[in-house]
Structure 1
């Protein structure tokens, strides 16, 4: 792996972004890869872009190594998925650092409670647990987190 560049996603990459999203989600053990899941994620990428996502990719010489979706107006990190081949190489940390440049004061996120690896990582990265609630769209129990920049506090 070279050092992937984080940049805005292009519309012609949406299908590949959905594939990376699916492969990363499947790597958690919470789902199985399928044509149905991939089709749903491809449709969702386009729908979420229309609903205000700022979508970024980590580009490794033309290969999409990760995807990052932010709702900047709401200080919300919606999706951060690293392709399995790039996991464990600090790319998630690089994406999180980029997120903090986009939302330097405060960030909200949520993750599936059963994805312990993810929420423990966010906790190590300074996010504070706020609550749990069921996500009606998928039935998963979600853990909600918040990060606040302590350097900007009065």
Structure 2
């Protein structure tokens, strides 16, 4: 492992909620600088603490004692997949995707913003197909998005 920090993927505990929210905040800011966020940082943290971690299948990636990625499954929806910006391009997303497909072998759907071209390439590389494009009128950000579907 020549200097690489080992990364553990595991189910999130309540104590991970703040760190997971902070990964989401850093990743969103880095990947989507043109997308207006409708919620404050504190509202995002409260949402992770009160809703996401307790009531969704939430996974985290941990490296060196720090949370560096978060993935959330909500039934057949891959509702969140965010990596700390310094961890992009290092295979962590691929590992999360393998877990998601293992956990939902009958298929997955997800939404991503149309401006997020790196996400499109990532999901398409993992067998997802664009199924619907919207003008964003149905999401909080009012940002055009695309629904992707994966069927094994």
Cα distance in 2 between the residues matched to 1:25 and 1:68: 13
CA positional deviation for 1:46: 2.9
Do the aligned partners of 2:17 and 2:53 also contact (CA within 8 Å) in 1?
no
Gaps of 5+ in 2: none
CA positional deviation for 1:47: 4.2
Do the aligned partners of 2:61 and 2:70 also contact (CA within 8 Å) in 1?
yes
Partner residue of 1:118? 119
CA deviations 1:64-116 (Å, max 9, x no partner) are: 110001113xx110000010111110100010001111001201111011111
Deviating beyond 6 angstroms after TM superposition, the runs of 4 or more aligned structure 1 residues are none
CA positional deviation for 1:130: 0.4
Cα distance in 2 between the residues matched to 1:4 and 1:50: 20
Do the aligned partners of 1:25 and 1:31 also contact (CA within 8 Å) in 2?
no
- When structure 1 is superposed on structure 2, of 85-94 and 39-48 the one drifting more is 39-48
CA positional deviation for 1:42: 0.4
1:88 match: secondary structure = coil
CA positional deviation for 1:50: 7.4
1:6 aligned to which of 5, 9, 17:
9
* Aligned CA distance change for structure 1 residues 29 and 108 (closer, same or farther; 3 Å): closer
Do the aligned partners of 2:14 and 2:54 also contact (CA within 8 Å) in 1?
no
CA deviations 1:4-26 (Å, max 9, x no partner) are: 11111111121111111111111
Cα distance in 2 between the residues matched to 1:99 and 1:50: 16
Cα distance in 2 between the residues matched to 1:122 and 1:7: 21
Say which structure, 1 or 2, has more relative contact order (CA 8 Å, 6+ apart): 2
Asked if 1:98 corresponds to 2:115, the answer is no
Do the aligned partners of 1:22 and 1:37 also contact (CA within 8 Å) in 2?
no
CA RMSD of aligned residues (A): 2.1
Q: TM-score, normalised by structure 2?
A: 0.86
Cα distance in 1 between the residues matched to 2:143 and 2:43: 17
2:40 match: secondary structure = helix
